Amino acid sequence: MIHSLPWRIGLMVVVTAATIVGYWIYAGPTPQPLSYHNFADQRTMLGVPHACNVLSNLPFVIVGIWGLAFMAGAGSRRAETFIDPSERLPYWTYFVGLTLTGIGSAYYHANPNNATLVWDRLPLTIAFMGLFTAILAERVHPWCARWLLAPLVALGAASVFYWDWTESQRAGDLRPYFTVQFFPLFGLAFMLLLYPPRYTGSADLVASLACYALAKIVEILDTQIYARTDFVSGHTLKHLVAGLAAWFILHMLQVRKPIFAGEDQSGVT
């Protein structure tokens, strides 16, 4: 584990720059394939088009509202939950983004196309950047919550609007959005391996990342899973497993405690 604050900051900056620059050099402009919208399960139920893909977004809304209720309640105000008050806002942002993701994704899946996909991806970037900032604050330094949350959320939103604009110019480019979606996952795993935690609950974070990885796998296997089961598609399972990933984040907050309760909690060692 890397305990020195300058090393934690320096290494994160270097890894971030190397990963993102390397990806942009390797990958050219990436348009959105229109085939993406052709999901395996297109059944209409009770008048709801693509019903399973629409309704399976309910876990995002449930966990998101549950998380917001937790943040507003006494549980989140325990000294054990947040040592530094500034650490609270990224989690508020995460649960707001999660709730809106459930709504936006349901809207998109009712009528899948590039225009509605914007409202699926936009809240998703809010949730990703909220969580990424929260873990930066806990594993690097609390000032990350104060200084990085707004710029990172703005960057996430800009990546979606940039993609939408490039599609309108017939030169679609998903690279900024892919960077915003996938780098935080890599960054979280990197910090879990090398940066010391300030709280218990790392197992929940690992479980959440594992669930999200599984969600991406079943998403890729959308058609194959539906053909095998004739009941549920990979994309529907993706929503359910990703909802479980979000629940692990909420559970982590509900039960965690500071690890270094008797030491300076500023993050400086």
- d(CA 179, CA 167) in angstroms, rounded, equals 17
The number of residues in the chain equals 269
Query: Has residue 267 been placed in a domain?
Result: no
Query: Has residue 224 been placed in a domain?
Result: yes
Is-contact 43 51, C-beta < 8 A? yes
Token pair for 36:
């993406």
Query: Has residue 243 been placed in a domain?
Result: yes
Domain range spanning residue 46? 5-21+40-255
Query: Has residue 35 been placed in a domain?
Result: no
Is-contact 110 48, C-beta < 8 A? yes
Query: Has residue 260 been placed in a domain?
Result: no
Q: Please provide residue 175's backbone torsions phi and psi, each rounded to the nearest 5 degrees.
A: -60, -45
Token pair for 152:
């990172």
Q: Residue 247: enclosing H or E segment and its boundaries?
A: helix 234-255
- d(CA 46, CA 64) in angstroms, rounded, equals 26
- d(CA 141, CA 85) in angstroms, rounded, equals 13
- First vs last Cα of the chain: how many Å apart? 13
Domain count of the chain? 1
Greatest alpha-carbon span in the chain: 59
CATH of the domain at 159: 1.20.1070
Query: Has residue 85 been placed in a domain?
Result: yes
Q: Helices 58-72 and 234-255: crossing angle, nearest 10°?
A: 10
Going residue by residue through the chain (269 aa), what tens digit of pLDDT does each one get? 777 777 888 888 898 889 888 998 888 899 999 999 999 999 999 999 999 999 999 999 999 999 999 999 999 998 889 999 999 999 999 999 999 999 999 999 999 999 999 999 999 999 999 999 999 999 999 999 999 999 999 999 999 999 999 999 999 999 999 999 999 988 999 999 999 999 999 999 999 999 999 999 999 999 999 999 999 999 999 999 999 999 999 999 999 999 964 444 444 43
| Statement: the pTM of the whole predicted model exceeds 0.95 | no
Residue 27: per-residue pLDDT: 87
Query: Has residue 152 been placed in a domain?
Result: yes
